[in-house]
Chains A and B, each alone.
Chain A
């Protein structure tokens, strides 16, 4: 692989573009595949199969050929509400996982750049903040403020948009109250039960990094259940 191509791949990854690397194992040549972009003659004869691998997000050697396809998938959007201590560890853990994190916190002193270097922090209330982030059923929400004023609107947004993972920090009692409020706002039991609360798998830990670990473990597990 040429160094220029490696740099191009890194750039595409950083800008969250979906693509594939196609390699001819017989002559060592490789190219970047993107939908609607043309391939060189060498690879163009396998275009249909390459497209198929790309659609199925599959990696592997195309049958009866020496063409290897590796697809790059856009990271999953994870929205954290609350730029709190646990969030700092979540950001750390998520670095080596394919998650793209955005943090929402209307409280300026929490959402400071110094606490979260190189992070996208939206210093607005959730209703406003979600106008800036495109979300869908492939998005995840981690609500960490346990302040109904901040968490509830975010939870409502996530439920309405059918996020595949919704988790909310807080004790059983806090969660019961939260469920009651959501019920009063018109959400049904099925929707409310889809919220992971108290958030995280049962690890037993109490410190911020331990709680972050239990949350990220649950998030990964739910991602692969889908």
Chain B
């Protein structure tokens, strides 16, 4: 049986907006290989860099936060980013699991 998980991220996004924060929604839209989180996984980021939810197991969240803050700063509404296997040091952003994910960012306007 299919059962969608529900982490109530959208509800939280709404609460943040009600508290006059700018919110960018990040959603996993494509995965290849062994990605840590399924398509549809979400996180939200505000203009200060506070975030909630997840799009990976902690591997790319920091990069997502930066990208989302950039989106708010530049007053853009959407952006698509891809993350691939990282060959750099462990501190570099990338998926240690060897998977690839594509994340879509959209500002709630």
- Residue ranges of A at the interface with B (Cβ–Cβ < 8 Å): 1-3, 6-7, 9-10, 13, 23, 25, 28, 30, 57, 59-61, 68, 70-73, 75-76, 96-98, 138, 164, 223-224, 226
Contact = CB atoms under 8 A, between A and B. Distances in A.
A30 B38 CA distance: 21
Given A25-B29, A60-B30, A224-B1, A98 B6 contact: yes
B91 interface: no
Given A1-B109, A23-B104, A61-B30, A226 B1 contact: yes
A57 B109 CA distance: 28
B50 interface: no
B85 interface: no
Contact of B109 (A2, A72, A164): A2
A13 B104 CA distance: 21
A97 B4 CA distance: 8
B14 A7 contact: yes
Given A68-B104, A138-B1, A1 B25 contact: yes
A10 B9 CA distance: 10
B73 interface: no
A70 B3 contact: no
A30 B30 CA distance: 17
Contacts of A7: 14
B70 to A, nearest CB: 16
A73 B4 contact: yes
B17 interface: yes
A59 B3 contact: no
Contacts of B104: 23, 25, 68
Given A6-B10, A6-B14, A7-B14, A68 B4 contact: no
A224 B3 CA distance: 8
Contacts, number: 76
Contact of B77 (A3, A28, A60): A28
Contacts of A223: 1, 3
A97 B30 contact: no
A68 B80 CA distance: 12
B13 A6 contact: yes
B98 interface: no
Contacts of A9: 10
A98 B108 contact: no
A97 B108 contact: no
Q: Quick one: which of A6, A57, A72 has the most chain B CB within 10 A?
A: A6
B2 A57 contact: yes
Interface in B59-106: 77-78, 80, 102, 104, 106
A60 B39 contact: yes
A70 B9 CA distance: 14
Contacts of A1: 25, 106-109
A98 B29 contact: no
Interface string B1-29: 11111111011011001000000010101
